[in-house]
Amino acid sequence: MPHPDPATVQALLGSHAVPCRRGVAGPRGIALPPFLDHHVHLHLVDESPLPAHGIAGVVDLGGDPLSFARRPHGGMPHVAYAGAFLTAAGGYPSGRSWAPSQTVREVTDPSTRPGVAGGATTAVDEQAECGASVIKIALNAQSGPVFDDALLAAIVRAAHGRGLPVVAHVQGDDTAERAIEAGLDALAHTPFTAILAPDLIERAAARQAWISTLAIHRDDPATHEIAVANLRAFAAAGGRVLYGTDLGNGDLPVGVNPDELAALREAGLDAASIVASLIDPWPDDSADGLSLLAGTSTFVPGGPPTDDDLTLWLALATVVPTEELIHDDL
Ligand SMILES: [Zn+2]
């Protein structure tokens, strides 16, 4: 393979992409920053194959906060987490077999005082003290009761007071609109129950990040079409798109998911935008971003890809120590 021109590679994949070789005599390919899956549930999967299949970091959006607090630091994949799902009394996902009681907290009191049973601040404090870097709430009107405005506002205030963003699972009725109006920072899934009005998309794009999770609808073409249309409009309006798969929800590949990448293409994202969605450090928006992943890179052998083989090529990604990669001269 001839050495690819670095300028061509960066025009296609973004300014972080660098042609390289893996080791002195190893294969040629492209170096990229570490990839993240921004929506997983580690208690439902064996995470060990993730790095070999391109995922260096994950964001767990619903699990047992104590199990994360006990997790040793410095492992691979790097794990950021929300801790438990916060939901209304009897709300989704309480009672689900995949959501044992230690993964759900019912918030029933908008109290901002700490230590109140069922209080908004109590629930946020618990996750924060277990090391959460984001708060996850459920607003699923298709599967039970959801928070009223007072509870929603109290949770957002408590989380923001601790410097934590809030991400919501929205499903049904006007839940996406409520999440946007309440100042939530992110949606855990591209909205998939209705096509959102253009002005609502504009407001979402101005203030939220959306985690894609398009491939979970692969067996339901009508729902898939709604989600793709919403993400296409959100991305076109300049919204921040985060790659995420909801790993743990059904049978999904443990690693970079070519179906998710293909659906992002369908939603109109170009190659550089797809790479940007994979390397976004959310929810760690601090200046040094993924400092815990310093020294870690993504290596994709071969390439640079053509438009047609982009998604399959990116799915060949693997996580490597940066020192293994010998960059071509720029
Ligand atoms: Zn999920």
Tens of pLDDT along 233-252? 999 999 999 999 999 998 99
- CA–centroid distance, 247 to ligand 1, in Å, is 7
Element (H, E) at 259: helix 258-266
Reported as a pLDDT band with limits 50, 70 and 90, residue 329 is low
User: Which architecture characterizes domain 6-327 according to CATH?
Assistant: Alpha-Beta Barrel (3.20)
> Residue 162 phi/psi, 5° resolution?
-100, 10
How far is 36 from 91, CA to CA, in rounded Å? Answer: 29
Reported as a pLDDT band with limits 50, 70 and 90, residue 5 is confident
What's the Cα-to-Cα distance from 101 to each of 5, 87, 95, 302, 327, rounded to whole Å? 54, 12, 7, 46, 49
Residue pLDDT, tens place only, 202-236:
999 999 999 999 999 999 999 999 999 999 999 99
- CA–centroid distance, 288 to ligand 1, in Å, is 27
Kindly give, in sequence order, each residue whose CB lies less than 8 Å from that of residue 227, ignoring residues fewer than 6 positions away: 189, 190, 191, 192, 213, 214, 217
- Residue 155 predicted with pLDDT over 60: yes
- CA–centroid distance, 206 to ligand 1, in Å, is 24
- CA–centroid distance, 249 to ligand 1, in Å, is 7
Give me the mean pLDDT over the 8-22 stretch. Answer: 93
Residue pair 15/279 in contact by the 8 Å Cβ criterion: no
- CA–centroid distance, 157 to ligand 1, in Å, is 23
Pick the closest to residue 192 from 257, 263, 122 (CA basis): 263
Give me the mean pLDDT over the 132-156 stretch. Answer: 97
Domain ranges of the chain: 6-327
Residue pLDDT, tens place only, 157-196:
999 999 999 999 999 989 999 999 999 999 999 999 999 9
Reported as a pLDDT band with limits 50, 70 and 90, residue 293 is confident
- Assign 176 to helix, strand or coil: helix
